[in-house]
């Protein structure tokens, strides 16, 4: 089964659920999106290769959070994928303007949570309706 994780009004990520019901999303699509590159560009593959190269300070963390799946469709190759939690960790490593904006959003949510902002409750309920297991 395949699903798209809606990131913005105009962008989503391909995802697949494994036999345990956990959703995994394409690392390449995520990297291209959060760094402001077009989906399908080679930037993500080069970045992923650099991040997983032996000796890179984040290689172990990236590799540990990575799983490989083949999405449906003709000619699909094994694609590195991560859970939502893995993508969040990857987001903290990546550079780029869009990634910085997402980090700012994450910081804002964390700040609201620590401050006890109860308006988060409705947002959490809305997100729970999507039923993505992390």
133: nearest Cα among 55, 8, 20, 9:
20
Tally the domains of the chain.
1
**Strands laid side by side in the 23-26 sheet:** 2-8, 11-17, 23-26, 78-82, 67-70
Q: What are the pLDDT digits (tens) for 15-72?
A: 788 888 888 888 998 888 888 788 777 899 999 999 999 888 888 888 988 999 887 7
Q: Look up the domain containing 28 and give its range.
A: 2-130
Distance separating alpha carbons of residues 34 and 50, to the nearest angstrom: 17
Q: What is the pTM of this model?
A: 0.72
Q: Where are the alpha helices (DSSP H) in the chain?
A: 27-34, 43-52, 59-64, 84-93, 97-114, 120-130
pLDDT of residue 35: 80
pLDDT by residue (tens digit) across 84-131?
889 988 988 887 777 788 788 888 999 999 999 999 998 888 777 765
């Amino acid at each position: 089964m395949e699903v798209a994780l809606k990131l913005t009004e105009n962008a989503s990520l391909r995802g697949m659920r494994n036999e345990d019901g956990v959703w995994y999303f394409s690392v390449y699509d995520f990297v291209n999106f959060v760094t402001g590159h077009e989906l399908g560009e080679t930037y993500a593959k080069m970045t992923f290769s650099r991040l997983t190269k032996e000796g890179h300070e984040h290689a172990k963390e990236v590799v540990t959070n990575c799983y490989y799946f083949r999405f449906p469709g003709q000619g699909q190759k094994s694609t590195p994928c991560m859970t939502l939690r893995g993508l969040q960790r990857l987001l903290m490593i990546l550079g780029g303007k869009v990634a910085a904006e997402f980090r700012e959003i994450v910081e804002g949510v964390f700040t609201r949570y620590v401050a006890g902002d109860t308006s988060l409750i409705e947002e959490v309920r809305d997100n729970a309706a999507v039923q993505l297991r992390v």
